[in-house]
Amino acid sequence: MIPLGFPMTFTSAEPLASTERLILRGFMPEDFEAYSAYRLLPSIYRFLYRDPPSAEALREHFDASLDSHFSEDGGSLRWAVLRREDGALLGDVSLKLTSKAALQAEIGYIFNPAYAGKGYATEAVRTVIDLGFSTFGFHRIFARLDAQNTASIGVIERLGLRREAHLIENDRFNGVWGDEYIYAVLSREWADRAGA
Ligand SMILES: CC(C)(COP(=O)(O)OP(=O)(O)OC[C@H]1O[C@@H](n2cnc3c(N)ncnc32)[C@H](O)[C@@H]1OP(=O)(O)O)[C@@H](O)C(=O)NCCC(=O)NCCS
């Protein structure tokens, strides 16, 4: 099966998806200020095994990602998540194509802590998983989470993904070993749940 979205270039400012409270679309150059407001905060990198980037590195990465596409393994697409009522940039959700041959994608998400605790991340991640299966035709979508990242575990378990693995001390940051969980859902499982 050739997924519908391959190869895909995504730079459009058109809403790609919307929910009752959210609009998901590609990033635009004018989003940078609101994007850097949370992407430079040390707190959001706590469980990501890296330090916050410099402002210059963030800008470079942001500019490069405006033209992101999905045609080969390693490529990723990222959506800006906006609040419908006022257009505030709440965070971003990405899908990384990890295997085109096996139709596998990894989901990632980072939200501005100013908007935490309202279910926005859960709603946006649910929407991107929907897109991943219905628009791009993935077979399996997975997430890798630090085992101590309780907020992220909350998002992924609220959506019913299956914990498939607990990797013990598989990474190290600043001299400290960390565990990771892998969660996943198959296309048919997601469809069954939606139909239930
Ligand atoms: C992971 C992250 C996005 C989670 O943020 P969050 O605010 O906890 O997630 P949500 O926006 O889905 O909000 C969920 C909370 O809102 C509550 N909530 C309120 N209204 C809700 C609704 N309508 N639907 C769902 N949850 C709702 C939930 O009960 C939950 O509260 P709790 O944490 O007290 O249980 C955020 O912590 C983050 O960006 N962290 C830094 C980056 C990171 O670690 N990313 C993950 C990498 S794997």
Q: Is 5 a residue whose pLDDT tops 90?
A: no
Ligand 1 atom closest to the Cα of residue 158 is 25
What confidence score (pLDDT) does residue 107 get?
98
128, 70 in Cβ contact below 8 A?
Answer: no
Identity of the amino acid at 64: A
- For residue 7, say if its preceding peptide bond is cis, omega within 30 degrees of 0: yes
The structure tokens listed for 109 are 């998400």
Mutation pick for ligand 1 pocket among 35, 44, 47, 155 (CB with most ligand atoms within 8 Å): 155
Q: In angstroms, what is the span from residue 121 Cα to ligand 1's centroid?
A: 6
Percent of the chain beyond pLDDT 70? 92
Q: Which residue has the tokens 């194509």?
A: 97
Q: Is 196 a residue whose pLDDT tops 90?
A: no
Rounded Cα–Cα distance for residues 80 and 87 (Å): 11
Q: Is 8 a residue whose pLDDT tops 80?
A: no
What confidence score (pLDDT) does residue 16 get?
82
The residue whose C-alpha atom lies closest to atom 25 belonging to ligand 1 is: 119
Q: What is the pLDDT of residues 121-134, one digit of tens each?
A: 999 999 999 999 99
Ligand 1 atom closest to the Cα of residue 112 is 39
Instruction: Kindly state if the Cβ of 183 falls inside 6 Å of ligand 1.
Output: no
What confidence score (pLDDT) does residue 4 get?
55
The residue whose C-alpha atom lies closest to atom 20 belonging to ligand 1 is: 118
Average confidence score pLDDT of the chain? 91
What confidence score (pLDDT) does residue 10 get?
56
Instruction: Kindly state if the Cβ of 89 falls inside 6 Å of ligand 1.
Output: no
Q: Is 177 a residue whose pLDDT tops 70?
A: yes
- Name all domains of the chain by residue range, CATH numbers in brackets: 17-138 (3.40.630.30)
- Bigger pLDDT: 179 or 77? 179
Q: Is 13 a residue whose pLDDT tops 90?
A: no
Nearest to 72 by CA among 122, 29, 8: 8
The residue whose C-alpha atom lies closest to atom 37 belonging to ligand 1 is: 151
Ligand 1 atom closest to the Cα of residue 91 is 39
Ligand 1 atom closest to the Cα of residue 122 is 12
SS3 state of residue 182? strand
**Looking at the DSSP assignment, which residues form a beta bridge with residue 99?**
104
Which range is least confidently modeled, 1-5, 32-36, 92-96?
Answer: 1-5
Q: Tell me the average pLDDT across 174-180.
A: 93
Give the pLDDT band of residue 12 (cuts 50, 70, 90). very low
What confidence score (pLDDT) does residue 56 get?
97
The residue whose C-alpha atom lies closest to atom 16 belonging to ligand 1 is: 117
Ligand 1 atom closest to the Cα of residue 120 is 11
